[in-house]
């Protein structure tokens, strides 16, 4: 128990007294677009993204590695998940995610998460060939997360994530590291009440380097070409703080309705408030939906107040096919929908193996 309180004190201290060089939680819209590695803010998993990520107090297993790592401590055996997201459908942008959570000992769980964001092939343009025709290149954004979580008691769960971040094209790349930490507290006669806090994307600045930033040119008064290296401006990571709560309304015949709410404090964009519901029938069929609000959400996209392409509405459905009820073995198929402005929305499909 003493270890948990030390973990809590450190987490809250980092959240509100970040040292110089790190992001401070302010939800400042004027800083929007100044951070890099914004792909870290995209939820690649269908169950939680279909719920608008409002379930930070209740998320469990593999999906907790993105949302609130404390929930990974609920892993009872081995959980493997794959997911594909058609991001801003019609743009050719996609996310592919893989996650593995493995219980170790009586109360711990280790995990790994790999998320890759792809943009397809983009035409190369130069000053001599502004219309292209000289080839294509493929940007790739990837992050790999190593996680550990632990149950400190029947009510208190906590965990830590270390993320390795890579952004690259053929001749320019950036590499960074970030840390997430999370806590969940579960209480009530039937553990129907839950609270959670997650601090995400805390790390040093990143910057790009590579041959693509070099330029061959003449210096006045000289006859030979010289190579000049352009310096890339360092950028900060999109630090974020999530505070959530959830309540299960338990009904006869193993029916359940869960009400969940979440407040997100973004260091480089507007703060957000989300509210959602999930209905579950015997944990076999689950239907969920939510709405996430931020200032300017209802404004027209042509105005400067509308700074988010997402329109606030999320929905999802999950089907868990039991293979062995005694051991809790099942295969899950999940779908999530997130509404966007102008584009053809975001769609996520995933498959989950729990054994």
Structure confidence by residue, pLDDT tens digits, 52-89? 999 999 999 999 999 999 999 999 999 999 999 999 99
CA distance 69 to 40: 14
Average pLDDT over residues 128-149: 90
Average pLDDT over residues 220-231: 74
**pLDDT (0 to 100) of residue 149:** 97
Instruction: Please count the helices (runs of H) and the strands (runs of E) in the chain.
Output: 2, 18
**Best CA proximity match to 99, nearest among 119, 118, 116, 87:** 116
Q: Are 266 and 240 in contact (CB under 8 A)?
A: yes
**pLDDT (0 to 100) of residue 309:** 85
Q: State pLDDT tens for residues 90-125.
A: 999 999 999 999 999 999 999 999 999 999 888 888
Average pLDDT over residues 34-43: 91
Residue 234: strand, helix, or coil: coil
- Tokens found for residue 102: 């493995």
**pLDDT (0 to 100) of residue 2:** 55
Report the mean per-residue pLDDT for the chain: 88
Average pLDDT over residues 6-17: 50
Q: State pLDDT tens for residues 262-304.
A: 999 998 888 999 999 999 999 999 999 999 999 888 888 888 7
**pLDDT (0 to 100) of residue 25:** 42
Q: Are 242 and 262 in contact (CB under 8 A)?
A: yes
Q: State pLDDT tens for residues 319-346.
A: 999 988 777 899 999 999 999 988 899 9
Work out the percent of the chain whose per-residue pLDDT is above 70.
89
Q: Are 208 and 69 in contact (CB under 8 A)?
A: no
CA distances in angstroms from 330 to 17, 314, 315, 318, listed in the order given: 43, 25, 22, 12
Distance from the Cα of residue 345 to its chain's centroid: 18
The owner of tokens 């809590």 is: 8
Q: State pLDDT tens for residues 145-191.
A: 999 999 999 999 999 999 999 999 888 999 999 999 999 999 999 99
54: left (phi over 0), alpha (psi -120 to 50) or beta: alpha
**pLDDT (0 to 100) of residue 3:** 53
Residue 2: strand, helix, or coil: helix
How do strand 136-137 and strand 122-123 relate by DSSP bridges? antiparallel
CA distance 44 to 58: 17
CA distance 176 to 106: 33
Residue 317 has pLDDT above 60, yes or no: yes
Q: Are 137 and 147 in contact (CB under 8 A)?
A: no
**pLDDT (0 to 100) of residue 19:** 38
Q: State pLDDT tens for residues 205-219.
A: 999 998 888 777 777
Q: Are 23 and 267 in contact (CB under 8 A)?
A: yes
Domains, the chain, with CATH or none? 2-354 (2.40.160.40)
Number of Cβ within 10 Å of residue 301's Cβ equals 12
**pLDDT (0 to 100) of residue 231:** 81
**pLDDT (0 to 100) of residue 185:** 96
Residue 220 has pLDDT above 60, yes or no: yes
**pLDDT (0 to 100) of residue 272:** 94
Q: State pLDDT tens for residues 227-248.
A: 777 788 899 999 999 999 999 9
The structure's pTM equals: 0.88
Q: What is the DSSP letter of 77?
A: S
């Amino acid at each position: 128990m003493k270890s948990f309180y030390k973990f809590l004190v450190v987490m809250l201290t980092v959240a509100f007294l970040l040292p110089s060089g790190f992001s401070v939680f302010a939800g400042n819209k004027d800083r929007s677009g100044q951070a890099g590695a914004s792909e870290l803010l995209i939820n690649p998993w269908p169950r939680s993204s279909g719920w608008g990520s409002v379930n930070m107090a209740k998320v469990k297993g593999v999906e907790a590695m993105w949302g609130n790592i404390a929930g990974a401590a609920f892993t009872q055996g081995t959980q493997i998940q794959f997911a594909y997201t058609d991001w801003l459908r019609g743009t050719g942008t996609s996310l592919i995610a893989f996650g593995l959570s493995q219980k170790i000992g009586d109360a711990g769980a280790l995990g790994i998460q790999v998320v890759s964001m792809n943009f397809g092939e983009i035409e190369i343009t130069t000053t001599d060939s502004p219309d292209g025709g000289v080839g294509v290149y493929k940007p790739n954004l990837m992050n790999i997360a190593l996680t550990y979580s632990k149950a400190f008691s029947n009510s208190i769960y906590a965990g830590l994530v270390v993320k390795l971040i890579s952004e690259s094209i053929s001749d320019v790349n950036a590499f960074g590291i970030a840390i997430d930490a999370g806590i969940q507290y579960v209480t009530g006669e039937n553990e129907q009440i839950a609270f959670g806090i997650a601090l995400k994307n805390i790390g040093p600045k990143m910057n790009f380097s590579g041959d693509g930033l070099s330029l061959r040119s003449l210096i006045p008064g000289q006859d030979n070409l010289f190579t000049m290296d352009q310096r890339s401006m360092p950028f900060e990571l999109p630090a974020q703080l999530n505070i959530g709560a959830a309540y299960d309304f338990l009904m006869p015949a193993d029916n359940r309705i869960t009400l969940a709410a979440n407040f997100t404090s973004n260091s480089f964009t507007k703060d957000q408030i989300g509210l959602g519901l999930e209905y579950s029938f015997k944990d076999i069929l689950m239907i969920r939906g939510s709405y996430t609000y931020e200032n300017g959400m209802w404004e027209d996209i042509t105005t400067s107040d509308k700074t988010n392409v997402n329109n606030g509405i999320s929905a999802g459905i999950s089907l868990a096919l039991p293979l062995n009820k005694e051991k809790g073995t099942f295969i899950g198929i999940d779908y999530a929908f997130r509404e966007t402005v102008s584009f053809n929305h975001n769609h996520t499909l995933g498959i989950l193996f729990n054994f």
